[in-house]
Amino acid sequence: MSVTSNPIDVHVGNRIRLRRTLLGMSQERLGNALGLTFQQVQKYERGRNRVGASRLYDLARVLDVPVAFFFEGLTGHDTIPPQPETGNVAGMAAPDDPLDAGDMEKSVLPAAQPDDMSLLSRRETIDLVRAYYGIEDSGTRRRVLDLVRSMAAD
């Protein structure tokens, strides 16, 4: 019997793998930091196992991103099952009130569009990001970024 992974679990897993890879971290090293085996990390990354709230918090801490990073790029309400109408709970947004994007923490990476995920997973992109962050002087990093932006605009 084949078990189908929830699309949100797969998306979160892809974001875990993306960030881990961008940091040059192995599954084993991430697992050690979380008290897990690399096989458990693999299952999270493939969306086979669901990531609980406390584990997601730990992942965000170890991978140095806000928790919201793992949900960036989701397409919206079509992937979230409808919730029953319960009215407002003190301190909570009403079900029909959209969240203001400004309320969410900003991540290191911009929100990825579906097409961007394949670009962000490419070896060339990962090498470029690693080399960029390998530049210790922030002024030099800024000039490199300005140079690349000006070249891309041409």
Q: What is the pLDDT at residue 85?
A: 45
**Domain 1-76 falls in which CATH fold?**
434 Repressor (Amino-terminal Domain) (1.10.260)
Contacts of residue 72, Cβ cutoff 8 Å, sequence gap at least 6: 15, 107, 109, 110, 111, 112
Give me the residue spans of the domains in the chain. Answer: 1-76, 112-153
Report the largest interatomic distance among the alpha carbons of the chain, rounded to a whole angstrom: 56
The closest alpha carbon to 20, from 136, 134, 129, 113, belongs to: 129
Phi, psi (degrees; rounded to nearest 5) at 92: -115, 150
Contacts of residue 49, Cβ cutoff 8 Å, sequence gap at least 6: 9, 40, 43
Quick one: tokens of 112? 């990825």
In order along its 154 residues, the chain shows pLDDT tens digits of 557 889 999 999 999 999 998 888 999 999 999 999 999 999 999 999 999 999 999 999 999 999 999 999 887 644 455 444 444 444 444 444 343 333 333 334 444 444 566 677 677 888 888 888 888 898 998 999 899 889 988 7
